[in-house]
Structure 1
Amino acid sequence: MAEQLISLEEFWSLRERYPVLDARSESEFAQSHIPSAQNLPILNDSERKIVGTLYKEKGSEVATMKGFELVGPRFHEIQKTAKRIFPDGEIILYCWRGGMRSQILSWLLGMVGFKVYRLKGGYKTYRTYTFDEVRKTRKMIVLGGKTGVAKTLLLQKLMENGEQILDLEALANHKGSSFGSIGLPPQPSVEQFENLMAENLRLCDTSFPIWIENESRKIGRIILPDQFYLLLLKSPLIDIRKSLDERVAHITQDYALLPKEDLIAAVIRLKKRLGGLRTQEAIADIQAGNHSAWISNLLIYYDKAYEFDLERHKADKIHTLDLEGKSIAVQVDILLKTKDQIHAKSHHETHRME
């Protein structure tokens, strides 16, 4: 069957109906790819290196012939694999720039009855879009507060109430502290993280603000784009206040069941900041299962770090809310009312400047 070239705009709607296939090598795919895509390399890493070297030294024709020589014996296996993975016989296909690799795979699959929608410009076109998307100016409300005030839970409840949220820690597979990676999958690459961010942001209505948790510039090994981080610092921040007991209880729910050896390793990573005595005390409490003690111990450090981070935000953009002792439903209601107040103030200031 014949292929159909599609634009990125067409890709967004077609992706709802058809699976996506990445024809690049396994290392390219591992570094970053279109989310939900599956990988079926037309040239694997070693073959791609050989062909690339020939292209530079002897030109396109020699490199193309070598490519066919290398992959030709696998044509049948590639077709069988594609038929097994995509039994419906319709796919969206891309390579790096929409060139030789996706053209060859499209032809190869077309020979066994596939209907192929090939993305013009390939992954490069998609990546250009996601790079720009995460660096756009947009309305945000930052949810702040010391460790344990349940910012992530409140984000989820806001989403259930129809609000737009961007959960950076979920996308990064990291909770943003020395303990942040425990029990979570490996982090994506920075490039893949930006792809995931963009996939979320493109669905947001720019007329309304996006709720986002206050973060430092690094989440584990993920680094936020400069423009996005500066926007986060300039946006209105709601500083949630709760009692120490509430915070310790909330953290205990998340961490008490985690492996002790992982918790101890996280404490050891903080040894220089905690000091030797507090590190030993925290480790002893973890081993004894005294979670409230070691959590309270570490909050001394994390609270100081939060106060330091809060100074990065403009004082006139910070809105302090005391949510101590209130149910989650009441907390969400207060947050929504605060959002309306922030929006009204911003609207008034905009018209005053005009």
Structure 2
Amino acid sequence: MKKTTILFGALFFLIGCKSSQTVSENENTIATEPLLEEFTIAFGSCNRTDLPNLLWDDILAIQPDLWLWGGDNIYADTDDMQQLRSMYRAQDQIAGYRELKSKTPVLGTWDDHDYGLNDGGVEFTAKKESQQEFLNFMNVPEDSPRRMREGIYAAQDLPKTKGMVKVIVLDTRYFRTAVTPDTETAKRLKPNKYGEGTVLGSAQWQWFEKELRNSKAEFNIVVSSIQLLSNEHGFEGWGNFPHEVDRFKRLVSDSKAKGVIVLSGDRHISEFSKTEVDGLSYPLIDFTSSGLTHAYRGFTGEPNPFRVGEVIFTESFGTLYFDLQEKKVLFKIIGDGGIVLGSLEQQY
């Protein structure tokens, strides 16, 4: 297995200038010009419009080629579409984010608070209307196929001369069935019986399988609002549907997709999780980055058998620096002032 290096507490410094980016007419491609061999993604989650948005200057400083929303992009918790629309507009008016949008393509998913129902899933009665407001926020064209199908999942290819990065955005809310409250311990939730329930739903699973099996990318970035690997904390996560986690791992292995990396949010902490998967030549990494405006500052610890390094529980965002020539990725957790709070390097 390839060597993994962990670094903590290093000082942040700027990387070189990035190329300008434009979203092409083809929904599945973001064109890049000029073509370089390095590529940078920045991402984050858990962002309130009524709290100081302190990190946009730090995000702008790294000059990312792509910004990914990881969910809870606003905190609405409402089925009132006028209120939801107003909060999205408020986020769009924040100066740092407005500047980022003017320079950088934006993709992403939602989580429960911008979906509209705390811990909500398939039962949310205003989900169709909420989907349209989210797509408006993401500037998805009115004639896009995404406007016609249920769920906000999407995929885009980002071609480079030495390879391709593919971004696959999952919707872990629209189709997610009921979770099981834990009435026996202090945890909120416990795993469903094996085989009971779904995170993605049938149609999205079929789509996801097709996207991975047909991918020609050197790296496949899967955006999931909730954590895939950490499964003992008792909050929301794929671990509440253990058969879905197993299905995810089997798909990654069977598809032969290169460089699959999971990005997650939700938890108000940032951490790296990693595991070996049968039949996979590289480790599966779940990089959690949360939150942008408020973090779990009272964090005192929780189990995660897949954790690599330390938990970060101050406001932060995540970055991925791709070296397409050498086929490696440098992951960083970055806080206010550009301080690197944690990092991990993986060869693929």
- Please state which band the TM-score falls in when normalised by the shorter chain: under 0.3
If you compute each CA radius of gyration, which structure gives the higher value, 1 or 2?
1
- When normalised by structure 1's length, the TM-score is 0.26
Structure possessing the higher relative contact order (Cα contacts under 8 Å, 6 or more residues apart): 2
Identify the structure with the greater helix proportion: 1
Greater strand share, 1 or 2? Answer: 2
